[in-house]
Chains A and B, each alone.
Chain A
Amino acid sequence: MFAYRKPALAAAVSLALFAQVAVAAEEQFFPITSYRVGPYGANGQAFFGGFVDYLNYVNLKEGGVNGVKLVWEECETEYNNAKGIECYERMKDKAKVSSGPIHPMSTGISYALIDKIAADKIPMAMVGYGRTDAVDGSVFPYAFPLVTTYQMQASAIIRFIKEKEKGNLEGKKIVFLYHDSAYGKEPIVALQEEAKLNKFALTLVPVAHPGNEQGAQWLQIRQEKPDYVVFWGWGVMNQTALKAAQKVGFSRDRIIGSWWAGSEEDTVPAGDAAKGYMSATWNVAGKTVPLIADIEKVVYGPGKGNLQDPSKIGTILYNRGVSAAVLSVEAIRKAQEKYGKGKAMTGEQVRWAMENLDISNARLKQIGATDLLPEIKTSCDNHEGSGKVKIQQWDGTRWVPVSGWIEGNKGLIHPLFKASAQQYAKEKGITPRDCTKEG
């Protein structure tokens, strides 16, 4: 044991020294806890590829944010919580000097980091996943479940169905088919509230991990004859569900999935069975977005792209990585406006910016991200900032948006977050900030 410690220590010290030199010039550091190998490696490659490509793009196109170059370090987590913590601890000293938001892209890792980031004053973004009650920024100053949460997404899906049913869901039957885990269970509360409000019958059908056998569940669905299936699937469970639905003859255009169940990785393997299937998403796919096309030109032109397989450009997850990076860079910009242009921002300053983000459609148009993601305006008591998703449909070869940006029922859902955050604050002995005094 001691034989290994010394070289590791030496390596760590030399890395730390190197880091000090690197940060001395005006550079904005991004700690990236990524996963490119392991069970979800394929998803991670596209997402983090997009994320790094956009940072690179900002460097190449504008020479960084107001002259501050964006630098980053990647640490492989393999979607493993313990490794995620190790990565975080390793990059922490650098991140304490200047830090963009961390994107763990894993609910488990974000839960494990949530106390640590608050103590270390490093902001964390969980765009569309993670601890959802962190929407209440008074209890979670450093955690940002930006854009949308599972609950708001479920509520938005219900709203979409309601619009399809001409504004009336009374007496309708909706089955909620979900991955029996933290991820799948979170929207249940929201759906139950919606069911009470809109008077539809809700049936819960869990699927055990990993979900590659769903015969019993779909038999039950066939007996129930629901009007819609709201689907919270993950990984191999998604394609299995689509194939099983085809087998029992349940129309795919009545299944609406969450955004984890709405990428090319889910539909392509299901082949024919996926046609017509719909899912929620907080960013659109395709290269028609000017920003994505420009990244391909500016970054991949000179061969500086991060993806080994450039055919992933324009996929849902790649565009999602770009969108997450857009949010991060806009936060850096906002922070520089307040704390000094051309300077590297600390985690504390970036945190303020993330709490005061205001990305309008006009701004999105400026950076070429028109309609790539919804408008966002955050505040101390709303770390989500949007709550909007689009519904997209798989036409057999690609995802096509079939709706505008739909907002979930904020009045119904946000009080749930508030209550949960208060309970957390009580358990942990946190005194919530007074949001009326934050500027």
Chain B
Amino acid sequence: MIYREAGQFKTSYAADQQLFPIRQDRISVLILLVVAFLVIPGVAGEYWFSAILIPFLIFALAALGLNILTGYAGQLSLGSAAFMAVGAYAAYNFQLRIEGIPILISFVCAGLTAAGVGILFGLPSLWIKGFYLAVATLAAQFFIVWCLTKFPWFSNYSSSGVISAQKVVIFGHEFASPREKYLLVLTLVAVMALAAKNMVRSSTGRTWMAVRDMDVAAEVIGIRLMPTKLLAFAVSSFYCGVAGALYAFCYLGSVEPDGFSLDMSFRVLFMIIIGGVGSILGSFLGAAFILLLPIFLDIALPWAAGLLGLPFSSATVSHIQILVFGALIMFFLIVEPHGLARLWQIGKEKLRLWPFPH
């Protein structure tokens, strides 16, 4: 009853083709954006911005990038962190070497650079598939990190190889406080997420899904595999690259190549597995689960231990946190192998029938 589209008639093509065809979806997305843009900046503290919201949005963007490649186009990749590294270092170098370049242009150029590198490492996908492709993208992971370490030009000959991101100035205004950085990241992520939502339902997105579901059949109905796959790599890497630039400029402030390790690629992959493969919403849910749950456990466990009077050291808390986290991942994968996004979908169906379930 709550979530029923009865009575919503689409009388024009435009109405039928809009991004969120159901009124309830439109309203909830709007509310979500209003809350994120207007309410949260008013109520959240610095800790929430710099330790939780900014990394959440950035990783959601990276997960979104990987989801386009893996979830929609069906190409398994283990190189997301490396593409993020390309984005971070490219944005730094554009800022450094081109006098007076606006930071947003640097971010876009960083995304494009990552897209170029993504296409290069996407080439093997034309011949190999599945797990073998994952191994090929693993090469990207190691090669890019090695390359950024090996050639000091990328880090402007810094003796340690660590780069510190320049100031973020847009139209003469410096985005220095965590609140401003949050708003900047939120704007970029919101725009890119809506763009992704739009892209996956367009003909581009449909060809990706056709390739994912069965590439031979897709070829038979006239989809050219090479441009389709490479476009997926390019778009995915673009998203990861922008996420990497934001990671350096709006989150950490200084990054080194070793920070973009295989571990981080796995985390992004886990985000889409937990959140939902082939779902825009899933990227956000997965990022929230993987990033926020450990922090929540970290804060809640000592508090609970204090209530029960148990002597917990910070190391014990860390161990228990890993245990609980691992157990929850297994629980979710067994109960809902299609991820949190699927749970949300089931919830929506339930709401639609409520209060008269079959």
Contacts and interface: CB of A to CB of B under 8 A. Distances in A.
> Do chains A and B interact in one complex?
yes
Contacts of A107: 160
Interface residues of B, number: 42
B292 A1 contact: yes
B157 to A, nearest CB: 10
Interface string A268-305: 00000000000000000000000000000000000000
B159 A15 contact: no
Contacts of B285: 1
Contact of B315 (A37, A111, A114, A180): A37
Contact of B161 (A14, A75, A114, A185): A185
B55 interface: yes
A69 B63 CA distance: 46
A205 interface: no
Contacts of B252: 81-82, 85, 112
B127 interface: no
B14 to A, nearest CB: 32
Contacts of A56: none
B303 interface: yes
B288 interface: yes
B259 interface: yes
B281 to A, nearest CB: 10
A337 interface: no
A75 B314 contact: yes
A73 to B, nearest CB: 9
Provide the main secondary structure of the chain B interface: helix
Contact of B164 (A86, A90, A424): A424
A7 B295 CA distance: 12
A181 interface: yes
A188 interface: yes
Contacts of B22: none
A102 to B, nearest CB: 15
Contact of B253 (A15, A45, A112): A112
A55 B314 CA distance: 17
A85 B51 contact: yes
A89 B167 contact: no
Interface string A29-48: 00000101100010001000
Contacts of B161: 181-182, 185
A1 to B, nearest CB: 4
Nearest to B300: A11
B160 A82 contact: no
A4 to B, nearest CB: 5
Query: What bracket does the count of chain A residues touching chain B fall in?
Result: 35 or more
A4 B293 contact: yes
Interface string B322-355: 1000000000000000000000000000000000
Among B160, B300, B303, find the residue whose CB has the most chain A CB atoms closer than 10 A. Answer: B160
B215 interface: no
A368 interface: no
Contacts of B9: none
B187 interface: no
Given A1-B292, A427-B166, A36 B318 contact: yes
Contacts of A108: 256, 258-259
B253 A8 contact: no
A182 B254 contact: no
B171 interface: no
B295 A8 contact: yes
A78 interface: yes
Interface in B270-321: 284-285, 288-289, 292-293, 295-296, 298-300, 303, 313-315, 317-319
A132 B159 CA distance: 10
B142 to A, nearest CB: 10
B228 interface: no
B51 A89 contact: yes
Nearest to A44: B315
Nearest to B167: A429
A160 to B, nearest CB: 22
A7 B256 contact: no
B311 to A, nearest CB: 12
B318 A37 contact: yes
Interface in B135-192: 146, 149, 159-162, 164, 166-167
A208 B146 CA distance: 9
A62 interface: no
A204 interface: no
20 contacts: A1-B292, A8-B295, A11-B296, A41-B315, A76-B315, A78-B318, A81-B252, A82-B55, A85-B251, A85-B252, A89-B50, A90-B299, A107-B160, A111-B256, A112-B253, A114-B253, A183-B160, A186-B159, A189-B159, A209-B258
Interface of B: 46-47, 50-52, 55, 96, 146, 149, 159-162, 164, 166-167, 251-254, 256, 258-259, 284-285, 288-289, 292-293, 295-296, 298-300, 303, 313-315, 317-319, 322
**8 nearest interchain CB pairs?**
A182-B160, A36-B315, A89-B51, A1-B288, A86-B51, A74-B314, A76-B318, A8-B296
Given A8-B300, A37-B318, 4 more contacts: A11-B299, A81-B252, A89-B50, A92-B47
